[in-house]
Amino acid sequence: MIVGPEKNHILQIDRALRLGLLSLIGSWSMASVTLLRAKDNLLSHEPDVSIDLPAVQKLNGKVDYEGGWMDSDEGHNFSGSVSLPVAERFGLQGDAMYSRVIAGSDASDFYAGGAHFFWRNPNHALIGLFAGGESGEVQYSLHAGLEAEYYLPQFTFGLSAGVGHLKYDQPVSFFATDQTRFVGSAFAAWYPIDQLMIEVGYANLFENHLGQAVVEFQTPLRGLSLTADAGIGSHGYDYLLFGIRYYFGTDKRLINRHREDDPQGLLRRVINSLGLVGADFNQRIADQGVNGSGSFGSRLIEVNRTITQTGGNGNFPPLPPDPYTPPVDIGNGDLSGIEVNRLIQMGGEGRGPVPLLPPLPPFIIQSSR
C-alpha cells in the first residue's frame, strides 16, 4: 500500500491524465462536429438566408453554342446574355441569338434579341417583365409578358405568360400568316448536386403545345458547362440540341449562377414558337394534298396539283397573280392526269408565269391558267 506524499503524487498524475484525456476527447468531438457541419454546408442546397444577397451581385454574362436537329433540319444556335444590377433588389438582362436552320441546299437565318427587367431575392424568388423578338427572311415575331421563379433548396419552379405576335410577309388562303396569340411556359428544375440541373417544362406558343427537357452540367473547368436540350410538340415538331456554354463573372456553383446571375433566357422560346408555327404550316400544306418543303416551314412550298374534270377538291391555295398566258390546246376536254408543278415562294422571288400545258388537238379551251 502506498501512503503519504507518494500516494498524493500518484493521484495528481492520475487526475491530470484523466483531465487530459477528457480534453482530448472533447477537442476531437468539437473538431468532428465542425467538419461534419462543413461537409453538410458543402452538400446541402439550403440557401444561406443569413446573407442578404442583391438581385444581381455584379456584371456577368454567358455565351453558348448548340447544334443538332430542329424540326428534322440541321440547326445551329449562337447566343449570349449579359446581366447587371440596377438597384439592390432589381436587375436587367439582355439576350441575343443568331440561329441558322439548314434543309438540304436551303438555309434560313434568324436574328433575335430580348430583355428582362426583374425583382429578385436569390434566397426566395424572382418576378419580372420580358420582351423580345426575332426577324427572319420572310417573317418576324414579338413576345412580351411576365415571368416568375420560386426557389426551394434543390428545386426551382418557373412560369411565364404573355402575348406573341407573328407575321409573314405574304398571306395565303389556308393559313393565318398574321397571328396574335397567348405565349406561356412552365418549368421545374432539379439540382441533384449543385453543379447539375435537370429540367422539364411545357410551353403553349400560338396555340401549339411543346414539351421540353434540359440538362446542364458545369464542369470542373471554371465557367464551362455542357448542355443538352430536347423537345417534342404539336404538328410533329421536335428538336434535339447539344451545346457548350461559358459563364463570365464570379466563379460559382451552377445552382447559384441560375439564382444570382442570369434568369432563364427568352430567345429559345421565341425560336421554338416559330418552329411550331412552321410545322403547323407544313401540316396544313400536306392536308391540302400538296408536298410542303422549305427550311423551318418558312420559305418554299412545292405545289403538285392534279387538275380533274370536276376541278379537283377546290381546297388548293390560289396561285399568285401572273402575266397573260396564251390559250392552251388540251384536247377533248379531258383534263385528268395533267400535273401543274409550281414553286410558290412566300414573300420572295420566283413568281413567273404558269407553265404552258402541252397542246393536245383538236378540241380547244380558252384558259388563263
Q: What is the model's pLDDT at position 10? A: 53
pLDDT of residue 330: 44
| pLDDT computed for residue 16 by the predictor | 56
In a domain, 243, yes or no: yes
Question: Tens digits of per-residue pLDDT, 322-334?
Answer: 444 444 444 444 4
- 308 and 185, same domain (yes or no): no
pLDDT mean values, one per 10 residues, the chain (369 residues): 52 55 49 42 46 88 96 93 94 96 89 97 96 93 97 97 94 86 97 98 97 98 97 95 96 95 90 91 75 52 39 47 46 43 41 46 40
**Is residue 187 domain-shared with residue 243, that is, in the same domain?**
yes
**CB half-sphere exposure, 122, CA atoms < 13 A:** 24
Place of cell 426551382: 156
Decide if 19 is inside a domain. Answer: no
User: Is residue 200 domain-shared with residue 131, that is, in the same domain?
Assistant: yes
Please tell me the distance from the alpha carbon of residue 83 to that of residue 175, in angstroms, as a whole number: 39
Answer whether residue 215 is part of any domain: yes
Same domain, 264 and 327: no
Q: Would residue 23 count as lying in a domain?
A: no
Domain assignment present for residue 140? The answer is: yes
338 in the same domain as 260? no
Based on the fold, state whether residues 313 and 267 are members of the same structural domain: no
For 5, phi and psi rounded to 5 degrees? -60, -35
> Does 304 lie in the same domain as 236?
no
Residues 186 and 330 in one domain: no
**Which structural domain range is residue 128 located in?**
60-280
pLDDT score for 205: 96
Predicted local confidence at residue 6, as pLDDT: 56
Residue at which a domain ends, from 247, 280, 313 = 280
| pLDDT (0 to 100) of residue 175 | 82
Whether residues 268 and 320 fall in one domain? no
| DSSP symbol at 296 | G
Question: Does 184 reside within a domain?
Answer: yes
- Predicted TM-score (pTM) of this structure: 0.69
- Of 280, 312, 331, the residue that ends a domain is 280
- What CATH number is given to the structural domain containing 64? 2.40.160.40
Same domain for 220 and 79: yes
SS3 content of the chain, % helix, strand, coil (to 5): 20, 45, 35
* Per-residue pLDDT tens over the stretch 279-319: 888 888 777 665 555 556 554 444 444 333 334 444 445 55
* pLDDT for residue 76: 96
Give yes or no: residues 214 and 110 share one domain. yes
Asked if 72 and 208 sit in the same domain, the reply is yes
Residue from 137, 141, 70, 66 nearest 102 by CA: 70
> Number of folded domains in the chain?
2
